[in-house]
A and B are shown apart, each in its own frame.
Chain A
Amino acid sequence: MIEFKLPSLGADMDEGTLLEWKVKPGDAVKKGQVIAVVDTAKAAVDVECWQEGRVHELVAAIGEKMPVGALMATLLAAGETAPRRLGAGEAAPAGPAAPPLRRLISPAARKHAQELGVELERIAGTGPHGAVTLEDVEKAAAVPAEPPAAPVPPPAAPAADKAAEMRKAIAAAMSRSKREIPHYYVAEDIPLARALAWLSAENARRPMADRLLPAALLLKAVARALQRYPELNGYWRDGGFVPGERINLGVAVSLRQGGLIAPALLDAAAKPLTQLMQELADLVQRTRTGSLKSSELNEATITVTNLGDQGSHGVFGVIYPPQVALVGFGRVAERPWVDADGGLKALPVVTASLAADHRVSDGHRGALFLRELAELLQHPEELNR
């Protein structure tokens, strides 16, 4: 039996309310299929399932609020048969019957739960393979039992409540970041004359719908630079650095009603600019209309914040835990620039910054990363590949 649990939806989203099931018992589920829609403090999220199987039981009810890691449904793997249920009037078979849902519960936790009168079904296990630990039982006992799940979804929260909820979620994640992560900061002014000239020429021969924004070029350059500085791309977990397998750029997107979400552009280093631009446009649009996928919210390995041409000169970001770095770009603007030969010119320049976790990297490497970024942006045609 495969247990499908509410996946992590980012550091600032630790619980969700089930809005809709996209599958029913008996349906076949493919890897990556969206099987449920869950509302969080920030947005409604399409939750994907990464295991193949057939839906056995939908455990979570519509309207139910669940912590990350809570059991939502069970699936049967290929070749697995459903545990038989007893029909009405049918006698229980002799011998110990297998429970309909096998959960990993340590004997001590089970005993303790009995003593405390805690229902094991209500507890989300945090141990290995989702096992319910003694600590989980104690935590659950400390929280008063929740009333049974409402049969109908609760009415959508009014906009003001939603904004307050988002503010709270951002506050929690950012406070944690500043409490736990020893940030250091470095910055570099990067001339963009060549990059913008290349973009203009490129855009002049493209149809409007395929036009590239400077943001796409900046993101691609960040992804390429990270290939040489892998210590900036990944997570701080359990007291150590875990490098990201791919370079998934979390892109900070501000919402018109206030607040922000930083969904991931997956595998950004490997994608040509045109594709990256299309995916960026799609991601921004879906972020603003509230149709993100769970993988986009929990797979970013670093965040990039780009204030754009309406923003400030520069920005020094707060790292989004458990990530270990954040790259910031200010407004691209004409500024005085001293050339290698000592001549003074007005050039389009952007201030790039890096906020990084001092437990993982040092300012010297951080500065080298920004120099690499600056160098890559002097060869825009190479970023097109």
Chain B
Amino acid sequence: MMTEEEARDVVIETLKNIAPEIAHEDLRHDRPLRYQVDLDSMDWLNFLLGLNKRLGIEIPESDYSRLITLDDVVDYLLSKVG
């Protein structure tokens, strides 16, 4: 069982592996993530692979449309792992 806070921490940590320069406090959790962090498609795939490795969950491409904001990603992870 993972709490929302734990899920958020995992997401931020995984994100920092891709974009070490991001400042957590500057991120708006309710706005599209990829624009804010400037993730290209390779970064995005690596981000999802990072979550996959960390939590052992498969994230099919058909779910990408549900993963827009950081809040979306956290909710998604909770629904998969929770």
Name A's B-contacting residues (CB within 8 A). Answer: 200, 203-204, 208-209, 211, 213-215, 254, 256-257, 280-281, 284-285, 308-310
Q: Can you list 8 contacts pairing A with B, beta carbon distance less than 8 Å?
A: A208-B48, A208-B49, A208-B52, A254-B40, A280-B42, A281-B45, A309-B40, A310-B34
Which residues on A sit within 8 Å (CB–CB) of B46?
Answer: 281, 285
Which residues on A sit within 8 Å (CB–CB) of B60?
Answer: 204
The answer for the CA separation of A203 and B64 in the assembled complex, in Å, is: 13
CB pair B48–A214 under 8 Å, yes or no, is no
A204/B61 contact (C-beta < 8 A), A256-B19, A256-B21 known: yes
CB pair A203–B42 under 8 Å, yes or no, is no
Tell me what chain B mostly uses at the interface: helix, strand, loop, or mixed.
helix
Q: Which of B20, B40, B59 has the most CB of A within 10 A?
A: B40
Which residues on A sit within 8 Å (CB–CB) of B45?
Answer: 211, 213, 281
* Shortest Cβ distance from residue B5 to the other chain A in the assembled complex, whole angstroms: 25
Name the CB-closest residue of A to B34.
A310
* Shortest Cβ distance from residue A333 to the other chain B in the assembled complex, whole angstroms: 13
The answer for the CA separation of A208 and B59 in the assembled complex, in Å, is: 8
* Shortest Cβ distance from residue B9 to the other chain A in the assembled complex, whole angstroms: 22
CB pair B40–A308 under 8 Å, yes or no, is yes
* Shortest Cβ distance from residue A70 to the other chain B in the assembled complex, whole angstroms: 35
Number of interface residues of B (CB under 8 A): 20
Name the CB-closest residue of A to B48.
A208
**Contacting A203 at CB < 8 Å: which of B20, B39, B49, B61?**
B61
Q: Which of A203, A211, A284, A310 has the most CB of B within 10 A?
A: A310
Which residues on B sit within 8 Å (CB–CB) of A204?
Answer: 60-62
CB pair A213–B42 under 8 Å, yes or no, is yes
A213/B41 contact (C-beta < 8 A), A208-B48, A256-B21, A257-B21 known: yes
CB pair A284–B35 under 8 Å, yes or no, is no
The answer for the CA separation of A310 and B38 in the assembled complex, in Å, is: 8
5 smallest A-B Cβ distances: which pairs? A308-B40, A208-B52, A213-B41, A284-B42, A308-B41
B6 contacts the other chain (Cβ, under 8 Å)? Answer: no
Which residues on B sit within 8 Å (CB–CB) of A280?
Answer: 42
The answer for the CA separation of A257 and B46 in the assembled complex, in Å, is: 18
List residues of B (46-74) whose CB comes within 8 Å of A's CBs. Answer: 46, 48-49, 52, 58-62
The answer for the CA separation of A213 and B34 in the assembled complex, in Å, is: 16
Which residues on A sit within 8 Å (CB–CB) of B59?
Answer: 208
Which residues on B sit within 8 Å (CB–CB) of A256?
Answer: 19-21, 38
* Shortest Cβ distance from residue A251 to the other chain B in the assembled complex, whole angstroms: 10
CB pair A281–B42 under 8 Å, yes or no, is yes
The answer for the CA separation of A285 and B19 in the assembled complex, in Å, is: 12
A-contact bits for B21-49, CB 8 A (1 contact / 0 none): 10000000000001100111110011011
Which residues on B sit within 8 Å (CB–CB) of A213?
Answer: 41-42, 45
